[in-house]
Structure 1
Amino acid sequence: MEAARRFGIKIIPGVEISTIFYSSKWDILDPWDCLVISLRGLRVRRTCSHPCLLQQLRAYKIWGIGEVSRDIRDGRFLRAKNIVSKLNKLKLPVKWENVTKIAGKGVAPGRLHIARAMLEAGHVENLKQAFARYLYDGGPAYSTGSEPVAEETVKLIHETGGIAVLAHPWALKNPAAIIRRLKDAGLHGIEAYRSDGKLSGGSTNLVQCHPGHP
């Protein structure tokens, strides 16, 4: 952040929270709907497993989000261990110590770290193959964590003065229905640009066809 200021670059940090979206009281419609949030000018994005995150959140007195982030971090550890266990049962042994080493000290391991461990162990030819064969959503080694409910997360973001944005809606199975539900809960917007800088036409269409679009 300090280096960015020296060069006149404005960086808005944030966090992306993976949430559970229920189509009814018991049925899970889509297990990995992600909400990108901004909290009082502090946008904590894609760093929810970093050990410094809770310190940042506590500094801003955002206790509710801090608790959610801690639960997610703990859930990521449990999820990663479950994935490693499933890989071992599939006769694709991966050492937990290697996974945590790849992730880095104090960082909750994710699927990407496990994929790299699989690559180092010689189980796959590349990271893409690790996901395509074993780690994809619903795959043979897939496991969930302890994700909060989407609507409750949106409301919590509101309570802390933040901005709730739905991330990568083009990856969802039924984005229009999900957006309608989250809008009722207070969703502020949806992501329209991919990380590679290309405009997602699907996101633009979703915004334009939404009843609340001006």
Structure 2
Amino acid sequence: MGVDLHTHSYCSDGTQSPADVVASARRAGLDGLALTDHDTTVGWAEAMRAAQEHEILLIPGMEITTLTDDRISVHMLSYLHDPHHEGLARAIRDARSGRMVRARRMAERLSIDFPLTWDDVLNQVADGATVGRPHLADALVAVGAVADRQEAFDRLLFRGSPYYVSQENMHPTTAIRLVREAGGVPVIAHSMASGRGRTVSMEQMEEMIDVGLAGVEVWHRDNPESGRRTLLELARRHGLLVTGSSDYHGAGKPNLIGENTTDLDTVAELMDMASGSPAYGRVQGL
């Protein structure tokens, strides 16, 4: 079945514990998964224990939110980095702090028109989790302002909404350099997902490759077919890893765990590139 290299737990904006995400991957018949919560590694230890229990491969990872000079949001997946690397850890602490400030400002704007408080938002955030717009959405559901997360995003939390607050993030090339310095493997996530907003140019992709981008997430439901072809050609020219994944969030999104996967040969190549942290659990052939 391969390895799903992009999943989330309630340590960021998923709805399951890290152990439950691992168990879901096992039930789906996967060989392995990567836990890639936003701007945090707090779920790694629990996921590692679960991977050993279920005899499934776990690739510890993280999804880093970055921003280009022309303010295009880029999500960078980092695999097998050293979570204690000073430079990367400091940058992630700053990112988490920025997320908290942004969420609070959005909550203040929403509270003018809806019976929403900051405590309502915090009630949706697991201990140590990274705060994001999905927690605002869940809080809006809890107070009866919307029916579900999707309505919250469609009506209130979308980019350009009067309630939306932008966040300052590190540049994609900075993230790539830090991940490499931490012994990790950087792969850009759903980079052709035009339905999410503006996407990066080929010139910007080439810039990322020049500083150490290792791979591209091609097989993702939000990449259109034309975008996949573009990414496959880019990967062929530059010898990049080609990955597939679900971007699973439990009940937080319709994405199904294992709906896209990465083959074991590519996973083995990714593991060989890394020097920051080991993989956990086991899978035949790796």
TM over 0.5, shorter chain: yes
Give unmatched runs, 5+ long, in structure 1: 23-27, 43-56
**What is the count of residue pairs matched by the alignment?**
187
Q: CA deviation at 1:95?
A: 1.1
Match of 1:110 among 129, 132, 135: 132
Show the counterpart of 2:232. Answer: 208
Gaps of 5+ in 2: 1-47, 240-286
Change (3 A) 1:72 1:142: same
User: Which of 54, 59, 73 is the equivalent residue of 2:96?
Assistant: 73
The answer to whether the Cα contact below 8 Å between 1:191 and 1:203 also exists between their aligned partners in 2 is: no
Please tell me whether the aligned partners of residues 107 and 116 of structure 2 are also in contact (alpha carbons under 8 angstroms).
yes
Q: How does 1:16-35 map to 2 (within 5 A)?
A: 16-22=63-69, 28-30=70-72, 32-35=73-76
1:107 Cα shift? 2.5
Instruction: Kindly provide the CA deviation profile for residues 116-146 of structure 1, in whole angstroms up to 9, marking residues without a partner as x.
Output: 1111212112211110111112222111234
Give the Cα–Cα distance (whole angstroms) in 2 for the partners of residues 193 and 97 of structure 1.
38
CA distance in 1, matches of 2:218, 2:172: 19
Percent identity reads 28
Q: 1:117 to 1:199 in 2, by over 3 A?
A: closer
What is the alpha-carbon distance in structure 1 between the residues aligned to residue 54 and residue 224 of structure 2?
Answer: 30
Q: Match for 1:35: what amino acid?
A: M
Return the TM-score normalized by structure 2: 0.59
Q: Please tell me whether residue 4 in structure 1 is matched to residue 51 in structure 2.
A: yes
TM-score normalised over the length of structure 1: 0.78
Q: CA deviation at 1:19?
A: 0.4
Deviations 1:77-114 (A, max 9, x none): 1011011011123x123111111111123333211111
**Change in CA separation of 1:156 and 1:135 when aligned onto 2, cut-off 3 Å:** same
Q: Which has the higher contact order (CA 8 A, sep 6+)?
A: 2
**C-alpha distance 2-107 of structure 1, shift in aligned 2 (>3 A):** closer
Find the partner of 2:77 among 29, 33, 36. Answer: 36
- Cα displacement string for residues 126-174 of structure 1 (whole angstroms, at most 9, x for unaligned residues): 2111101111122221112341111111111222222111011132523
The CA distance in 1 between the partners of 2:121 and 2:166, in whole Å, is 17
